[in-house]
Chains A and B, each alone.
Chain A
């Protein structure tokens, strides 16, 4: 027997495990959801969007792309860009959702995967809260459904005793569900997504029922593609996703900018003493990270081996923050090569054998010859000794 689920039958308000009130944001929330923070822009887009919309989409695919990439609407409303990066990435992502294929956003830490996924869900479904956070302990119930045991014991198995997962609710309501850090979820739990994505249905064998996805349902997953120790997706699951890799910042300037801004914010919240003018050192750290990551020097003339670490922008930020703390508390208050050298070494050399060779080659063939880097070279030699 198959029962197509009514939205009411899985009403989140009936059971406690669903996220709290998703109504308009309160003004004192620490971090409002995207659909609340940018409600004006979404409303303006929806009002002026005359292009065809897929079923249950709040906006047309074109308007969703505009929402993410920014632009000016005919009536003069300015849409701020949410994602700064290649246009292609956003276009492919939006198109994927429109073709009812699941979307997998891949990227190293710090490439705005979660940010993009949240805004996509907000623009498409007006709701970015149907979220499963992937961890090593994520159970199958988080993706399928669980039971309200008190009710189950009192009244026996019924739809009322069922606690739907965010994915199940998204299926029933035709919205966009999100799975964060998909590759951290144990493989057997990951695979429970297969039926959902290929059959677009979620059977409930205990009740002899199923929940069929309504048009408009889709799923956005994010995953880290260079982290060690993740649960690789099975090929069966991988086949059901279109994959979009979010690239790292394109230019060194952009990356230096990001690092500087984040370091400032973190420094303020940690109450680190202000360190004047560390931009030169930040630029140096970013250059080292970029060069090793890309496997080629900034001038594009010398190829390099890449170490096994990810060397993401996020790591560059933590190296600089650590260096700042060193300089502030133990140094003379100026960020110097010696303050970041140990951090850089730690980020680069993850595998003590192979990465050390990579790092030394880089030091000897690139850093040593570079004008104005003598102090950095010395500091790194000392740190590595």
Chain B
């Protein structure tokens, strides 16, 4: 291999770059300006040649990505992200501005995508390791790995940097290449030097384990030769620095052709999709391997004094966030950054020095504002844009295919759709609509069902509006298929969500949309938010939604073990936080807290049906919490009363004990308002009256107390009691009146009171009552007591 030979007239101009390197981009522009080639060849899929003209369009704004995907399988795809500071993008724009043809010369995506199909099995083991970091299908990630030259198997820059005594390849490249100002001296000199270095590397390492690089390079050589025949010596090539020696090498046309023979093919479509800086960064799924796209964009865009401009920008951001940062701070930060660079022996301050300076001077040594700087500036929120004229994104095609398969075409007129989730097609339709809603494509909106209620029924109002097509195109950044995109979107939403309730809502929607892959992330965020939330009310609000999700999961056969675990953890936190949070509340806050206690209680009841690791203990602990509440004086009466009632319902409190507590609280020593509040908590709310009608024990308690109230105290409690009992429905009030008139004489025997219902004779006909039991048992199942079961079923129906 002899790539270092001098360039002669017949040689193409080979510009080796680092993908997404702003210094490379400047150098490429300078080199192109200096040599004015007649054709520009760029490393990229040749199928995209037709997409080059739209790159000049007014509303084309980087970062964008070239997306190639298998026509019949949108999930199989590869991306070539391009930012404003990518040398490839600069070369593309230069060609368009100067009216020079540009071409992509890499191996066609039709082969690379076909490769992925062949080696899917091999990759799987590797993908498992990547775990949740990965956003899309395995093929995408794998293709992305091939699209990048900085491969882990052997990192050419790493070797060079190591040789130069740097521990970080990025920093070495920045010092040696990126930080060189463009325009000084020979515009081509950096490329010649780099080529020599790469040649030396490739002489040592050969293809460095990139077996397929040989095939790609063979293809590139053929295309270069083609271009040379057409344009003679006016050919410029922009490619990864690693490839330069191979492209320089004179290889036989026949040998190259032989390498390319018999490659697998798959029908491929290519289009532009908008990209974001966040996705360019390492943290993103199809990370292009740059940790600081915002900083690179700044380096590329800043005409001079990059560090000064950067620190001014940082100061602006911090000021906007209400931190006092003066120009004096900026001056000191610049001085610190420059001296630090000198101490570290770097030619110019880099991002590391600037960050250290910002931390020490502007952030008082704290990393918290620094995280903001990293998020907003170092990575940045830049969102790319592509013109409407480019071909449809694969997401749209996937949606169309799904619509055809489910026989659910888009119609502009509104119509209602009833789904029976027990049917496979209907369940899939429901999932599709839920997923689209997650993506912000509100084609269907849930509506109140007319044809009966039940966990297996859903009603949607469908209406396809033209703007939804735009939304679909926008949602294309999230993925290439509806489930993949919805999963990615749900994960991003979870991370961005502010309130705990938002995350629980999201978890519910993920279950409805059957996105099990998104659940781990959502659950992790949920657990984190729950752990950090200090407001018990928030936790208590979140729990019911979570438990509801668990039940939906059951109906739809989703695996909800993780969810149950999180729900149990959430419940634990509620238990710990609730007693202190209940102390010293005013009437309104107490009333609200009572609602939370009720919600948690019923949620725990539902949780009891779900197999959770800590289930049995949860119930016991909740009862302990209720017991604590019921006897603590600082807790408002309405909550104490509620706690006693709930314990009584559970059968955890003896009737005598409840009576004692009631007598205690209703004794003259207690302020009347508190006593009445206790009564309200005890028998108030919906169902409280019915409970009194049907539960002779409770009725007896209230009755016994009421008759024992001394005459002078009676006038005090009367208005408060009236408030409680006036809230009952008229029928209940009437029945209660009847019961009172009948007198409490025979209390203690259940028959005595139930027999008193109006319109029925006294006493129960045992034989006729027994006759109903077999049917009841059939309806309610053989075990458990009937009343509780019925109660639960009732609640479920209400929630639907």
Hey, which bits of chain A sit against chain B, CB under 8 A? 61-62, 65, 88, 91-92, 94-96, 98-99, 101, 104, 106, 225, 235, 238-239, 242-245, 295, 301-305, 353-354, 356-357, 360-361, 364-365
| Nearest CB in chain A: distance from B280 CB, A | 26
Q: Would you mind naming 19 contact pairs between A and B with Cβ atoms under 8 Å apart?
A: A61-B339, A92-B356, A92-B357, A95-B340, A96-B336, A99-B336, A101-B361, A104-B365, A225-B365, A242-B360, A243-B361, A243-B366, A245-B365, A245-B366, A295-B532, A305-B534, A357-B577, A361-B577, A364-B572
Are the C-beta atoms of A242 and B572 separated by less than 8 Å? no
| A302 contact set on B, CB distance < 8 A | 527, 531
CA distance A44 to B450 in the complex (A): 90
B-side interface size class? 20 to 34
Question: Who on chain B is nearest to A54 by CB?
Answer: B339
Are the C-beta atoms of B534 and A243 separated by less than 8 Å? no
Are the C-beta atoms of B328 and A239 separated by less than 8 Å? yes
Are the C-beta atoms of A65 and B343 separated by less than 8 Å? yes
Hey, which bits of chain B sit against chain A, CB under 8 A? 324, 326, 328-329, 332, 335-336, 339-340, 343-344, 356-357, 359-361, 363-367, 524, 527-528, 531-532, 534, 569, 572-573, 575-577, 580
| A353 contact set on B, CB distance < 8 A | 580
Question: Who on chain B is nearest to A88 by CB?
Answer: B356
Are the C-beta atoms of B528 and A303 separated by less than 8 Å? yes
CA distance A383 to B527 in the complex (A): 28
CA distance A301 to B132 in the complex (A): 14
Are the C-beta atoms of B336 and A242 separated by less than 8 Å? yes
CA distance A373 to B528 in the complex (A): 23
Are the C-beta atoms of A364 and B364 separated by less than 8 Å? no
Are the C-beta atoms of B572 and A365 separated by less than 8 Å? yes
| B576 contact set on A, CB distance < 8 A | 357, 360-361, 364
**Contact partner of A99 among B328, B332, B528, B580, CB < 8 A?**
B332
| A354 contact set on B, CB distance < 8 A | 534
Are the C-beta atoms of B335 and A99 separated by less than 8 Å? yes
| Nearest CB in chain B: distance from A78 CB, A | 21
Are the C-beta atoms of A91 and B356 separated by less than 8 Å? yes
| B575 contact set on A, CB distance < 8 A | 364
7 interchain residue pairs of minimum CB distance: A243-B365, A245-B365, A303-B531, A242-B360, A303-B528, A95-B340, A243-B364
| A104 contact set on B, CB distance < 8 A | 365
Are the C-beta atoms of B573 and A365 separated by less than 8 Å? yes
Q: Among B329, B361, B527, which residue has the most Cβ atoms of chain A within 10 A? A: B361
CA distance A206 to B332 in the complex (A): 34
| B364 contact set on A, CB distance < 8 A | 106, 238, 243
**Contact partner of A101 among B332, B359, B363, B366, CB < 8 A?**
B332
Question: Who on chain A is nearest to B524 by CB?
Answer: A301
Given contacts A61-B343, A303-B527, contact A357 B336 (CB under 8 A): no
CA distance A106 to B339 in the complex (A): 21
CA distance A289 to B364 in the complex (A): 25
| A304 contact set on B, CB distance < 8 A | 531
| Nearest CB in chain A: distance from B729 CB, A | 41
CA distance A365 to B568 in the complex (A): 10
| Nearest CB in chain B: distance from A296 CB, A | 9
CA distance A244 to B361 in the complex (A): 9
Are the C-beta atoms of B343 and A91 separated by less than 8 Å? yes
| Nearest CB in chain A: distance from B784 CB, A | 29
CA distance A92 to B354 in the complex (A): 11
CA distance A62 to B342 in the complex (A): 9
Q: Among A301, A303, A304, which residue has the most Cβ atoms of chain B within 10 A? A: A303
| Nearest CB in chain B: distance from A360 CB, A | 5
| A360 contact set on B, CB distance < 8 A | 576
| Chain B residues touching A, majority SS | helix
Known: A65-B343, A245-B365. 4 other contacts (CB 8 A): A239-B326, A243-B360, A243-B366, A365-B569
CA distance A356 to B583 in the complex (A): 15
Question: Who on chain B is nearest to A354 by CB?
Answer: B534
| B365 contact set on A, CB distance < 8 A | 104, 106, 225, 243-245
A-B contact count (CB 8 A): 89
| Nearest CB in chain A: distance from B133 CB, A | 15
Are the C-beta atoms of B531 and A92 separated by less than 8 Å? no
Given contacts A245-B365, A245-B366, A364-B572, contact A98 B339 (CB under 8 A): yes
| B356 contact set on A, CB distance < 8 A | 88, 91-92
| Nearest CB in chain B: distance from A18 CB, A | 32
CA distance A92 to B340 in the complex (A): 7
| A242 contact set on B, CB distance < 8 A | 332, 336, 360-361
| A96 contact set on B, CB distance < 8 A | 336, 360
| B524 contact set on A, CB distance < 8 A | 301
Given contacts A99-B332, A239-B329, A365-B572, contact A357 B580 (CB under 8 A): yes
| B580 contact set on A, CB distance < 8 A | 353, 356-357
Question: Who on chain B is nearest to A101 by CB?
Answer: B332
| A101 contact set on B, CB distance < 8 A | 332, 335-336, 361
CA distance A357 to B580 in the complex (A): 8
CA distance A243 to B329 in the complex (A): 12
Are the C-beta atoms of A244 and B360 separated by less than 8 Å? yes
| Nearest CB in chain A: distance from B618 CB, A | 11
| A238 contact set on B, CB distance < 8 A | 364
Q: Among B344, B359, B531, B572, which residue has the most Cβ atoms of chain A within 10 A? A: B531
Are the C-beta atoms of A91 and B340 separated by less than 8 Å? yes
CA distance A364 to B344 in the complex (A): 48
| Nearest CB in chain A: distance from B367 CB, A | 8
| Nearest CB in chain B: distance from A328 CB, A | 35
| B527 contact set on A, CB distance < 8 A | 302-303
CA distance A238 to B365 in the complex (A): 11
CA distance A88 to B335 in the complex (A): 16
CA distance A94 to B366 in the complex (A): 18
| Nearest CB in chain B: distance from A385 CB, A | 13
Q: Among B328, B576, B580, which residue has the most Cβ atoms of chain A within 10 A? A: B576
Question: Who on chain A is nearest to B364 by CB?
Answer: A243
CA distance A61 to B364 in the complex (A): 22
Are the C-beta atoms of B532 and A303 separated by less than 8 Å? yes
| B328 contact set on A, CB distance < 8 A | 239
CA distance A106 to B329 in the complex (A): 19
| Nearest CB in chain A: distance from B364 CB, A | 5
| Nearest CB in chain B: distance from A221 CB, A | 12
| B577 contact set on A, CB distance < 8 A | 357, 361
**Contact partner of B343 among A95, A244, A295, CB < 8 A?**
A95
| A235 contact set on B, CB distance < 8 A | 324
| B528 contact set on A, CB distance < 8 A | 303
| Nearest CB in chain A: distance from B408 CB, A | 41
CA distance A62 to B340 in the complex (A): 10
Question: Who on chain A is nearest to B573 by CB?
Answer: A361
CA distance A235 to B328 in the complex (A): 13
| Nearest CB in chain B: distance from A279 CB, A | 29
| Nearest CB in chain A: distance from B329 CB, A | 7
CA distance A245 to B359 in the complex (A): 9
| B367 contact set on A, CB distance < 8 A | 245
| Nearest CB in chain A: distance from B105 CB, A | 43
| B359 contact set on A, CB distance < 8 A | 92, 243
| A364 contact set on B, CB distance < 8 A | 572, 575-576
| B335 contact set on A, CB distance < 8 A | 99, 101
| Nearest CB in chain A: distance from B29 CB, A | 34
**Contact partner of A92 among B360, B534, B573, CB < 8 A?**
B360
| B531 contact set on A, CB distance < 8 A | 302-305, 361, 365
CA distance A99 to B360 in the complex (A): 13
| A305 contact set on B, CB distance < 8 A | 531-532, 534
Question: Who on chain B is nearest to A233 by CB?
Answer: B364
| Nearest CB in chain A: distance from B42 CB, A | 39
| A245 contact set on B, CB distance < 8 A | 365-367
| A98 contact set on B, CB distance < 8 A | 339, 343
| B532 contact set on A, CB distance < 8 A | 295, 303, 305
CA distance A243 to B531 in the complex (A): 31
| Nearest CB in chain A: distance from B595 CB, A | 21
Question: Who on chain B is nearest to A365 by CB?
Answer: B572
| Nearest CB in chain A: distance from B543 CB, A | 15
Q: Among B335, B356, B360, B577, which residue has the most Cβ atoms of chain A within 10 A? A: B360
